[in-house]
């Protein structure tokens, strides 16, 4: 349940002309948190009698033993993996939720100078809200249906109790008797370089990787309301072919996905996206396990749809144009320190970048936007029961879609710091006391009025709460 402020996502995709939407999203972002499930599964600990710390550096962050277990299809390979070997009453269900207190602060919000009077001039104000709250709820079940057939079903709710299927898949493990062939079918987390579902941050601003979801500023809203790629951090619908060495030092994953960003129902267009991640780990004496890898996500998104009476017909997105995200990463251990470092380069086709249907002319001198970004996330594992967290993330747009757009519009700097303390560590349940502060600065995405200069949007989150699962 990494908190995700919808407003923070949308702010990067809105154009200069969408001031009201930007402001609205800022306020919305300050007031509302939705949840993005994170994975830690006491049901597995109960099944195998291992403490959480066996699989997790600090739950939900996996260590290599946990990675191998996951890569093996939630199997230890000890002839007790199949459900027939468990007590008939064993039910692999996990519940996770976080009662919490949090404070959301936005440095620049346009508010009416006379409350309730929409005609009064807008003025800029700081807006802070705080209070006790709940995260979303995960009802998680996963395990094996039979030896070498694993599954996962994760209905997840937001804080109001509205559920959706975060993931639902079946996996055929060790095909042809080799760990190099495993086939997953359904809605699944991509094999991302650094998992957004298993990291430690929870706040509205820090509870997701900006890079995984970044979409550069559009010059205008697409009139056909067709959905386009929203980020490799989202669970996607499709199939995954995955393979690994016995100790998962060498791994690959290749996914073919419906190009609808994991939304159920017919895809908005009729193409497929592709994702590939390859990585290799190696040991350095005295330092620990190091891992390096590369990844690419590429596909095509629609720019318009067939309409009936002017209304887009679902599932008829056409006029597809391409995009890609590509990068490299390294995960480095130095004793009790570990550093996750990632670089990403992105490009959207000019029609996607300007929000223009491909049957319409492009704005003058329009170009496909490109950007670069990266993050470094540092952990210091004091003990299996205490971990410190720090992350700095930046995104720099290297080419705006329109030459008239300020070159740094949409650039992001995000910073997160926090810690998690686990009062106990055993094989039945998990409890963590979590404290975190995060801050995000988005360049020139705030404009008080159409005549006002563009200024930076700055938001911050403070959160503390009890994160528990059973």
Partner 1 sequence: MRLPRSGTRILLGGIAALVLLPSGIGWAQVSHIGNLTGDAKRGKELYRRYCIGCHGPRGDGEGENSPWVNPEFPKPRDFTTGVFKCRSTATGQIPLDSDLYEAIGRGLHPTAMPSWFALTRQQRADLVAYVKTFSPRFQKQKPQPVVPIPPEPPVAPDSVNRGRELFQKMECWKCHGQEGRGNGPAASTLTDSKDNPIRPYDFTTGTRFKCGESNSDLFRIFMTGLDGTPMPAFADVLKPEEAWDLVHYLRTLQPKGHK
Q: Tell me whether residue 39 or residue 297 sits nearer to partner 1 (CB atom).
A: 39
Query: Quick one: which of 247, 307, 403, 452 contacts partner 1 (CB under 8 A)?
Result: 247
Q: Please report how close the Cβ of residue 339 comes to partner 1 at its closest, in angstroms.
A: 17
Q: Which of residues 227-246 bind partner 1 (CB under 8 A)?
A: 246
Backbone φ, ψ for residue 21 (5° rounding)? -65, -40
Query: Quick one: which of 17, 24, 51, 363 contacts partner 1 (CB under 8 A)?
Result: 51
Which residue carries 């993996």 as its tokens? Answer: 81
Q: Does the protein bind partner 1 through residue 431 (CB under 8 A)?
A: no
Q: Does the protein bind partner 1 through residue 181 (CB under 8 A)?
A: no
Q: Tell me whether residue 63 or residue 261 sits nearer to partner 1 (CB atom).
A: 63
Q: Is 187 left (phi over 0), alpha (psi -120 to 50) or beta?
A: beta
Q: Does the protein bind partner 1 through residue 360 (CB under 8 A)?
A: no
Alpha helices in 269-381 (DSSP H): 350-354
Determine the straight-line distance between the first and last CA of the chain, rounded to whole angstroms: 14
Q: Please report how close the Cβ of residue 78 comes to partner 1 at its closest, in angstroms.
A: 6
Q: Please report how close the Cβ of residue 85 comes to partner 1 at its closest, in angstroms.
A: 9
- Do 446 and 415 contact (CB within 8 A), yes or no? no
Q: Tell me whether residue 51 or residue 406 sits nearer to partner 1 (CB atom).
A: 51
75 vs 56, 58, 425, CA distance in Å? 15, 20, 21
Q: Tell me whether residue 53 or residue 255 sits nearer to partner 1 (CB atom).
A: 53
Q: Please report how close the Cβ of residue 97 comes to partner 1 at its closest, in angstroms.
A: 25
Pull the structure tokens for residue 219: 């010059």
Residues for the chain: how many in total? 470
Half-sphere exposure of 392 (CA within 13 A, CB side): 0
Q: Which of residues 149-178 bind partner 1 (CB under 8 A)?
A: 177
Pull the structure tokens for residue 209: 């990787």
Q: Please report how close the Cβ of residue 65 comes to partner 1 at its closest, in angstroms.
A: 4
CA dist 55 and 53 (Å) reads: 5
Q: Tell me whether residue 177 or residue 450 sits nearer to partner 1 (CB atom).
A: 177
Q: Does the protein bind partner 1 through residue 248 (CB under 8 A)?
A: yes
Q: Tell me whether residue 68 or residue 412 sits nearer to partner 1 (CB atom).
A: 68
How big is the CA angle at 267 (ends 263 and 268), to the nearest 5 degrees?
A: 105
- The binding track of 55-84 with respect to partner 1, each residue x by CB under 8 A or -, is ---------xx-xxx------xxxxx----
Query: Quick one: which of 426, 429, 437, 470 contacts partner 1 (CB under 8 A)?
Result: 426
Residues 6+ apart with CB under 8 A from 86: 47, 80
Q: Does the protein bind partner 1 through residue 53 (CB under 8 A)?
A: yes
How big is the CA angle at 258 (ends 150 and 1), to the nearest 5 degrees?
A: 60
Q: Does the protein bind partner 1 through residue 144 (CB under 8 A)?
A: no
Q: Please report how close the Cβ of residue 147 comes to partner 1 at its closest, in angstroms.
A: 11
Please tell me what DSSP assigns to residue 25.
Answer: H
122 vs 17, 18, 158, 446, 453, CA distance in Å? 16, 15, 32, 13, 14
Q: Tell me whether residue 45 or residue 402 sits nearer to partner 1 (CB atom).
A: 45
Q: Please report how close the Cβ of residue 214 comes to partner 1 at its closest, in angstroms.
A: 33
* Site size for partner 1 (CB under 8 A): 29
Residues 6+ apart with CB under 8 A from 157: 35, 136, 137, 163, 164
Q: Which of residues 249-308 bind partner 1 (CB under 8 A)?
A: 283, 285-286, 288-289
Q: Does the protein bind partner 1 through residue 383 (CB under 8 A)?
A: yes
Sign of the torsion angle spanned by Cα atoms 262, 268, 270, 276: negative
What is the contact surface with partner 1 in residues (CB under 8 A)?
48-51, 53-54, 64-65, 67-69, 76-80, 177, 246-248, 283, 285-286, 288-289, 383-384, 426-427
């Amino acid at each position: 349940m990494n908190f995700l402020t919808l407003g923070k996502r949308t702010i990067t995709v809105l154009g200069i002309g969408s001031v009201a939407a930007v402001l609205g999203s800022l306020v919305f972002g300050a007031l509302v948190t939705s949840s993005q499930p994170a994975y830690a599964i006491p049901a597995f600990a109960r099944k195998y009698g291992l403490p959480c710390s066996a699989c997790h550096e600090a739950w939900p962050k996996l260590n290599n033993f946990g990675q191998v277990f996951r890569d093996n299809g939630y199997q230890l390979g000890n002839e007790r993996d199949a459900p027939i070997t468990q007590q008939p009453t064993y039910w692999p269900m996990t519940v996770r939720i976080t009662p919490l207190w949090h404070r959301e602060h936005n440095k620049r919000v346009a508010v009416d100078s006379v409350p309730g009077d929409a005609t009064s001039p807008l003025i800029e104000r700081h807006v802070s809200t705080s209070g006790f709250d709940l995260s979303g709820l995960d009802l998680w079940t996963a395990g094996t249906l039979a030896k070498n057939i694993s599954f996962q079903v994760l209905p997840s709710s937001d804080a109001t109790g509205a559920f959706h299927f975060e993931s639902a898949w079946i996996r055929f493990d060790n095909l042809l008797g080799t760990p190099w062939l495993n086939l997953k079918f359904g809605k699944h987390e991509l094999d991302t370089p650094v998992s957004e579902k298993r990291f430690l941050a929870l706040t509205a601003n820090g509870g997701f990787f900006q890079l995984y979801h970044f979409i550069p500023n559009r010059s205008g809203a697409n009139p056909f309301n067709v959905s386009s790629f929203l980020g490799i951090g989202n669970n996607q619908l499709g199939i995954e072919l995955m393979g690994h060495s016995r100790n998962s030092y060498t791994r690959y994953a290749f996914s073919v996905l419906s190009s609808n960003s994991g939304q159920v129902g017919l895809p908005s267009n009729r193409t497929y996206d592709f994702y590939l991640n390859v990585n290799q780990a190696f040991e350095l004496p005295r330092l620990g396990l190091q891992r390096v890898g590369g990844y690419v996500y590429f596909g095509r998104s629609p720019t318009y749809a067939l309409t009936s009476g002017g209304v887009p017909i679902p599932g008829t997105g056409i006029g597809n144009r391409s995009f890609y995200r590509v990068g490299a990463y390294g995960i480095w251990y130095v004793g009790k320190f570990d550093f996750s470092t990632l670089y990403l380069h992105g490009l959207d086709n000019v029609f996607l970048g300007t929000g223009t249907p491909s049957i319409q002319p492009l704005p003058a001198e329009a170009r496909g936007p490109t950007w670069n970004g990266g993050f470094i996330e540092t952990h210091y594992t004091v003990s299996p029961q205490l971990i410190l967290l720090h992350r700095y993330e930046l995104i720099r747009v290297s080419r705006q879609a329109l030459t008239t757009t300020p070159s740094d519009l949409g650039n992001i700097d995000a910073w997160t710091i926090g810690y998690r303390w686990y009062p106990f560590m055993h094989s039945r349940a998990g409890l963590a006391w979590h404290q975190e502060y995060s801050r995000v600065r988005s360049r020139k995405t705030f404009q008080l009025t159409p005549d006002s200069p563009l200024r930076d949007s700055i938001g911050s989150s403070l959160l503390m709460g009890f994160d528990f699962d059973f």
